[in-house]
């Protein structure tokens, strides 16, 4: 039985050897195509991240999402455009987190070098320490 062209579908092979064609309902696929997945629907936090994902049709992905702020989780099917925007947002957030980490590392190293220099000048470091 052919599916409707506007309903993504895929085949699932059952242990019995039979193949079943799964068609996704409109209601799930049309869930707010403008939605930004990084924004939590429960608390409006902007740190939602994926827990798991799999492609369920040519242009649709099932993604399990989690918000670290309110701990809500949701699994839904999203179209390729929504997922692509989410991927870009995740890349941007990862770059920002990496930049913050490097800033923190530099600050920690600066503090460490200052303490080491002060200890050296105060005579608290001896050749036996190395």
Considering the complex, what minimum distance in angstroms separates the CB of residue 82 from Zn ion? Answer: 18
Q: Looking at residue 127, what DSSP letter applies? A: G
Gap between the terminal Cα atoms of the chain = 77
Rounded to a whole number of angstroms, the minimum distance from the CB of residue 43 to Zn ion is 3
- Residue 75 CB, nearest approach to Zn ion (Å): 15
C-alpha span between 38 and 96 (Å, rounded): 14
Q: Which of 20, 22, 28, 42 binds Zn ion (CB under 5 A)?
A: 42
Considering only 45, 53, 62, 74, the residue that binds Zn ion (CB under 5 A) is 45
Instruction: Please answer whether residues 99 and 66 qualify as being in contact, where contact means their C-beta atoms are separated by less than 8 angstroms.
Output: no
- The verdict on 69 binding Zn ion (CB under 5 A) reads yes
Task: For residue 74, state whether it binds Zn ion (rule: CB under 5 A).
Answer: no
Q: Which of 70, 74, 76, 89 is close enough to bind Zn ion by CB under 5 A?
A: 70
Q: Indicate whether 40 belongs to the interface with Zn ion (CB under 5 A).
A: yes
The backbone torsions φ and ψ at residue 13, rounded to the nearest 5 degrees and listed phi first, read -90, 120
Closest CB to Zn ion among 29 and 67? 67
How would you classify residue 115: left for phi > 0, otherwise alpha for psi between -120 and 50, otherwise beta? alpha
């Amino acid at each position: 039985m052919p599916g409707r062209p506007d309903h993504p579908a895929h085949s699932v092979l059952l242990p019995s050897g039979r193949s079943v064609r799964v068609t996704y309902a409109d209601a799930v696929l049309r869930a707010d195509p403008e939605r930004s997945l990084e924004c939590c629907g429960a608390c409006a936090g902007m740190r939602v991240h994926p827990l798991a994902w799999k492609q369920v049709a040519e242009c649709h992905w099932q993604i399990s999402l989690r918000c670290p702020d309110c701990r809500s989780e949701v699994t839904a099917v999203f179209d390729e455009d929504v997922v692509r925007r989410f991927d870009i947002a995740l890349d941007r957030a990862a770059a920002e987190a990496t930049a913050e980490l490097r800033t923190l590392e530099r600050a920690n190293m600066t503090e460490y070098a200052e303490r080491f220099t002060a200890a050296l000048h105060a005579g608290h470091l001896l050749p036996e320490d190395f």
